[in-house]
Amino acid sequence: MSLLSAEHVCVRYGDVEVLHDISLSVAPGEIVTILGPNGSGKSTLLRALLGIVPVAEGRMLRQAGLRIGYVPQKLAVERTMPITVRRFLSLPVRVSDRSAKEALVRVGMEGLDDQELSDLSGGQLQRVLLARALLDQPGLLMLDEPTQGLDQPGEASFYRLIEEVRRDTGAAVLMVSHDLHVVMAASDRVICLNGHICCEGTPRVVSTAPEYRALFGLGTQGALALYRHEHDHDHADGHHHQDHPHHHHHDHDHA
Amino acid sequence: MAITIRTIRIITIMTMTMLDDFLIRAGLAAIGLSLATGPLGAFVVWRRMAYFGDATSHAAILGVALALATDLPVGVGTLVVALAMAVTVASLAARGWAMDTTLGVLAHSALAFGLVAVSFIHGVRTDLSAYLFGDILAVTRVELGLVWLGSLAVLALLAWRWQALLTATLSEDLAHAAGIKPERERLVLVLALALVVAVALKVVGALLIAAMLIIPAATARGLSRTPEAMAALATLAGAIAGIGGLGLSLWQDTPTGPSIVVVAALMFAVGSGWRRT
């Protein structure tokens, strides 16, 4: 039983077909990442799944009563618009002070209520957007390049937060990204996109697939190797990543 | 019972007598108008619709010309033409036209066509400045009623759509994902703008309506932390500018519409200077 699925979906902008014959599904509690280079249509796919962009062909199914929390790619808050974090959380549905506080604590932004949105740093804003998406207790979180503009530590801690949220709330996560290594670490399944689905599978399977290598070139190998190295090191320190999807793989590496 | 009826009668008579005073009527018209221009002006500022306000209000002059030519009430003419202009601009914007150029062409063309058209109608030429700069001191009771009716309608419309409007203003994608249609909310603002233009024509005139939308809202920005506070403060600033402008106009015998805008601008200057210190 999947939460959300697309069957043979095509999206066209005028005469240009930006997405061709996309079929995918997201199961409860899983973290799926759509990975692709710039212009591969990954944001468009997410927006089509959300119903923002109309679909030319194919169909999409949602589990009845599924609540989706959406974190957009970026939020350009006009300096002319005064709005505090607390007020923002009450858009478009007003929420109680208690739920607002809980959501901010959840993303590690407690006490930020009275900050103006336009004064937040990129990382803080992403967390506030996530807090807002969590207020509705969604069964599925959809994130569009959530770490764009964050530095590497910021990026890593944001993906850790996503995993925590999945563990604590059981929400599935479907996100879009063009950055490779950290995403690989945080996903159960990766869908490689370039106008169509090139390949799909666990991060390990995808990273060795010829389609993936063709799409991202050799440069990624270094990054992935770096990631593995870090992870091995982490592992040797005796940290136990109980919910980490790669746990078993790395056990094999050691053996 | 008898006392109540008598009280009501006395209050009614007092009110009527009060409304006989042109200054009271002018003051009430200014306050009524700011009820609408405050919150709507906030949206104009947030959405960078300043030029949009210009185009719509300049089109009102064309509306005046058409109304005079067809013997329709001026209010109806301005409302219809302002609405047509606002809808045109909004749909061009949705199609991704370069807005500053498009609006520049439309705003000034509408004004020029309107001015030329009015000159063909005999006996109007001398009165034209009333439409360009407003004639708040000549507001009749009926016009005062229309100002309040229009302003309250705009206020009610904005209050009804408030949450959706704010969401769509912050991010159209967030609005979409929450089941809000950004195009519909844009239409709400367009409708509100046309209504305000029709109502404000008599008070500040076609050339300065946009100023009454933008300046009080800009003044309120530095003093507010939430959208609601900004809308409320913009209303207050607009009302103060209205009363202050009336005072300035009486004291120095200056044209009233521009005097109101002068007071609003002075408040803005003081406000931004005060924030800096």
pLDDT at residue A186, rounded to an integer = 79
Which of B32-46, B68-82, B112-126 shows the lowest per-residue confidence on average (mean pLDDT)? B112-126
User: pLDDT confidence of B276, banded at 50, 70, 90?
Assistant: low
- Read off the pLDDT of each residue in B263-275 and give the average, rounded to a whole number: 89
Per the CB < 8 Å rule, is B170 touching A77? yes
How many CB contacts within 8 angstroms connect chain A with chain B? Answer: 69
pLDDT at residue A249, rounded to an integer = 41
Per the CB < 8 Å rule, is B177 touching A68? yes
Contact B155, B36 (CB under 8 A): yes
Is residue B209 in some structural domain?
A: yes
pLDDT at residue A146, rounded to an integer = 85
User: pLDDT confidence of B36, banded at 50, 70, 90?
Assistant: very high
C-alpha distance from B221 to closest chain A C-alpha (Å): 6
By CB atoms closer than 10 A (0-12, 13-18, 19+), residue A29 is: middle
pLDDT at residue B21, rounded to an integer = 86
Q: Which chain B residues have a beta carbon less than 8 Å from that of A72?
A: 171, 173-174, 177
Single-letter amino acid, residue B102: T
Structure tokens at A98: 């208690």
The per-residue pLDDT of chain B, averaged, comes to 88
Q: Reply yes or no on whether the pLDDT at B170 is more than 60.
A: yes
User: pLDDT confidence of B177, banded at 50, 70, 90?
Assistant: confident
Helix axes B227-252, B256-276, angle to 10 degrees: 130
Per the CB < 8 Å rule, is A91 touching B230? no
pLDDT at residue A248, rounded to an integer = 40
Is residue B14 in some structural domain?
A: no
Structure tokens at A2: 């999947």
pLDDT at residue B275, rounded to an integer = 67
Distance CA B136, CA B242 (A): 10
Is residue B62 in some structural domain?
A: yes
Distance CA A145, CA A120 (A): 18
Q: Reply yes or no on whether the pLDDT at B53 is more than 50.
A: yes
Q: H/E/C letters for each residue in A78-90?
A: CCCCCCEHHHHHC
pLDDT at residue B124, rounded to an integer = 60
pLDDT at residue A236, rounded to an integer = 38
Query: By three-state DSSP, how is residue B178 classified?
Result: coil
pLDDT at residue A122, rounded to an integer = 86
Long-range contact pairs involving B185-189 (C-beta distance under 8 Å, separation at least 24): B185/B161, B186/B90, B186/B94, B187/B87, B187/B90, B188/B157, B188/B158, B188/B161, B189/B40, B189/B43, B189/B47, B189/B49, B189/B165
* DSSP secondary structure of B11-52: HHHHHHHHHHSHHHHHHHHHHHHHHHHHHHHHHHHHTT-HHH
Q: Is B171 on the interface with A (CB under 8 A)?
A: yes
pLDDT at residue B158, rounded to an integer = 97
Q: What is the pLDDT of residues B1-25, one digit of tens each?
A: 567 788 888 888 777 777 778 889 9
A68, A92, A116 ranked by CB distance to B180: nearest: A92
Distance CA B246, CA B137 (A): 8
Q: What is the pLDDT of residues A97-151, one digit of tens each?
A: 999 999 999 888 888 899 999 999 888 998 999 999 999 889 999 999 888 778 8
Structural domain span for residue B165: 19-276
Q: Where on the phi/psi map is residue A149: left (φ > 0), alpha (ψ -120 to 50), or beta?
A: left
**pLDDT > 70: what percent of chain B?**
95
Counted domains in chain B: 1
C-alpha distance from B196 to closest chain A C-alpha (Å): 21
Structure tokens at A168: 């604590």
C-alpha distance from B175 to closest chain A C-alpha (Å): 8
Q: Which chain A residues have a beta carbon less than 8 Å from that of B218?
A: 80
pLDDT at residue A182, rounded to an integer = 67
Task: Tell me the CATH number at B40.
Answer: 1.10.3470.10
Contact A176, A42 (CB under 8 A): yes
Residues of A at the B interface, defined by Cβ within 8 angstroms: 47, 50-52, 68, 70, 72, 75-78, 80-84, 87-88, 91-94, 114, 116, 142
Is residue B2 in some structural domain?
A: no
Is residue B13 in some structural domain?
A: no
Structure tokens at A87: 């007020």
Distance CA B200, CA B174 (A): 34
User: pLDDT confidence of B129, banded at 50, 70, 90?
Assistant: confident
Is residue B212 in some structural domain?
A: yes
pLDDT at residue B92, rounded to an integer = 80
- The complex scores an ipTM of 0.83
Is residue B1 in some structural domain?
A: no
Q: What is the pLDDT of residues B201-221, one digit of tens each?
A: 888 888 889 999 999 999 999
Q: Which residues of chain A have pLDDT under 70?
A: 181-182, 217-255
**pLDDT > 90: what percent of chain B?**
45
